[in-house]
Structure 1
Amino acid sequence: MNSAHFLIDIGANLTHPELNKKIDVIVDNIKSANIEKVIITSSNTQDTKEALEIISKYPDLFYTTVGFHPHNAKDYSSKDVAEIEAFLNNDKVLALGECGLDFYREYSSKEEQLFCFEQHLEIAKTIKKPIFLHERHAFKDFVDMLKKHKDGLFKYVVHCFTGTKEELKTYIDMGCYIGITGWITDESRGKRLHEIIKYIPEDRLMIETDSPYLIPHNINFKHDGINEPSYLIYVAETIAKCLNKDINYVKDVTIRNTKLFFNINE
């Protein structure tokens, strides 16, 4: 398969009811859009179970993750560690996550989130698989926690990055990979990202849809407002424009980085 003509979506919430109910159509669209692989993001262990059901139908197309999203930290307990570790022994479960901190809405308390996040980092030290990270309005606590546990951690990607130049520099200096979503296609909200994406090293950039959220603003046809992996090309096109690069450059770089980061050898 020629990587110059394909993309990998590192984060799509395909267990979301809006997408899971039409997964066969989603798959047809993915194939038509030359998406080589999609990583189904999990926000709790039930998501992972549902993702593995999807994967059983389409084993050549999908992978998944396992972990508790900060919104779901209130549901996490130390009793979940064994189940998470068992899932991570599955070759189709590529990463730990989505985990991290989100103080924007606080569906779970800060204390619950900090406990859950720290437990995930402890798991990561023993499993040696990448970590799929979420941070929103919690930068200092998030970075402090990562630095506290940096010895023994493997690789991590900050998904859906929308922060400042200074935050980006901190992440890069810490060795983080960076995931870019359709946020960058929003000429208003994504303006800052347009200006600072050039500071992401070529070997740290990955792309994602975060479906069904963050539908690209540069889609040029009528749609239902629900994002899906087949729209990833619109993210790639905007990145290429921001970097003043050819679209195949973005495809080559991101697919190479993704396969190395997640250890995808198929």
Structure 2
Amino acid sequence: MSDRDGTAAGWADIGVNLGDRQFRDDGEAVLDRARDAGVVLMLLTGTSVAESRQALTLCRDFPDRGLLATAGVHPHNARQFDNDARAELAELLDQPEVAAAGEMGLDFNRDFSPRPDQEKAFESQLALAAEKGLPVFLHQRDAHARFLPILRAWRDRLPAAVVHCFTDERRALYDYLDLDCHIGITGWVCDERRGRGLAELVPDIPGDRLLVETDAPYLLPRDLPEPPPVKRRNEPCFLPWIGRRLATLRGEDEADLAARTLANTRRFLNR
């Protein structure tokens, strides 16, 4: 298998929180391990204006590591979204390293921000992404009934959308596929307890809609061989482990799945 430039294909991790404080002391070593594991493209997630700026800075600090960034305000931080934040996001989304708008969406599980604030921030960011012609990186937890109509109203004006860290039920999966969304799968699928329902749905995701992510440093695959990593921190270097699980569930060759999901990621990001 080879990538479009003729080099050996690798993996794409569409969700890495490299600016998290857990990576503060060894971020470059994390990137080294990812490269050694064959991860050739990483999308660094912005969940606030400050973290979006940090993701952009990391892309510029390590220009040879296949890094791109998102810029957005996570629903947990929606209470901080105002006109100033929107203006700053608009500037960030104009930067060449920023390939998608988000992380944006609704989270009615924890309600760290009031739901009206979440909806306002979500709709405003969808409008901004449409204005900039950028794909969107989406978060939805326990909010499908409200999330779906908001997304549907904007979907035709967006070039692409991915429902990141999908862990929902079959109806939600098909609703998002009907909107021509990509589906991001994490190490949740490696948990024989919580991930059982998701594992059953993985074969239903069309090959051209599937994306893979670690959501590092979160969601460490539960079935990693011993010993576990220090502090049980997830890293992009574990992405091939998740990919192997997906290949098994789908009855596919691991190298083929890596090449396909890398190509899907490049198309999604238009890179």
Q: Distance in 2 between matches of 1:52 and 1:134?
A: 20
Q: Where does residue 41 of structure 1 map in the other structure?
A: 45
Alpha-carbon separation, structure 2, partners of 1:148 and 1:45: 25
Once the two structures are overlaid, the 10-residue window that deviates more, 77-86 or 173-182, is: 77-86
1:25 Cα deviation (Å)? 1.1
Aligned ranges for residues 26-105 of structure 1 at < 5 Å? 26-61=30-65, 62-105=67-110
Q: Residue 6 of structure 1 contacts residue 34 of structure 1 at CA under 8 Å; is this kept in 2?
A: yes
1:181 correspondence with 2:199: no
- After TM superposition, the score normalised by the length of structure 1 is 0.96
Could you tell me how far apart the structure 2 residues matched to 1:145 and 1:21 are? 39
Which of 226, 245, 248 lines up with 1:241 in the alignment?
248
Structure 2 CA distance, aligned partners of 1:152 and 1:78? 22
One-letter amino acid of the structure 1 residue matched with residue 68 of structure 2 = Y
Equivalent-residue separation in structure 2 for 1:233 and 1:218 (angstroms): 13
- State, as a whole percentage, how many aligned pairs show the same letter: 36
- 3-state secondary structure, aligned to 2:208: helix
Contact 2:167 2:188 in 1 (8 A): yes
Cα deviation, residue 163, structure 1? 0.8
Out of 203, 212, 215, the residue aligned to residue 217 of structure 2 is: 212
- The alignment partner of 2:155 has SS state of coil
User: What is the letter of the counterpart of residue 83 of structure 2?
Assistant: S
Instruction: Give the corresponding residue for 1:150.
Output: 155
Aligned partner of 1:56: which letter? R
Contact 1:12 1:38 in 2 (8 A): yes
Kept after mapping to 2: 8 A contact 1:134/1:158: yes
- Unmatched segments (≥5 aa) in structure 1: none
Secondary structure (helix, strand or coil) at the match of 2:225 reads: coil
Give the structure 2 partner of residue 2 of structure 1: 2
- One-letter identity of the residue aligned with 1:72: N
User: How do residues 149-168 of structure 1 correspond to structure 2 at under 5 angstroms?
Assistant: 149-168=154-173
Quote the Cα distance in structure 1 between the aligned partners of 2:258 and 2:156.
32
Q: Which runs of 5+ in 2 are unaligned?
A: none
Per the alignment, residue 206 of structure 2 pairs with: 201
8 Å contact from structure 1 (residues 102, 134) kept in 2: yes
Answer yes or no: is the 8 Å Cα contact 1:218–1:234 preserved in 2: no
8 Å CA contact retained: 2:2, 2:259 = no
Cα distance in 1, alignment partners of residues 152 and 2 from structure 2 = 38
Find the counterpart in structure 1 of residue 129 from structure 2. 124
CA distance in 2, matches of 1:34, 1:109: 41
Tell me if the contact between 1:124 and 1:154 (Cα under 8 Å) persists in the aligned partners: no
State the alpha-carbon separation in 1 of the partners of residues 212 and 195 from structure 2: 15
Q: Secondary structure at the match of 1:202?
A: coil
Give distance in 2, aligned partners of 1:116 and 1:263.
25
Shift of 1:79: 2.3
Q: CA deviation at 1:244?
A: 1.1
Cα distance in 2 for partners of 1:259, 1:161 equals 20
**Corresponding letter in the other structure for 1:230:** C
Superposition RMSD on alpha carbons, in Å?
A: 1.3
Give how far 1:2 is off: 2.9
Count of aligned residue pairs for this structure pair: 264
The 1-side partners of 2:168 and 2:95 are apart by 33
Q: Tell whether 2:15 aligns with 1:11.
A: yes
**TM-score w.r.t. structure 2 length?**
0.94
The aligned amino acid for 1:160 is C
- Report how far residue 5 of structure 1 moved: 4.2
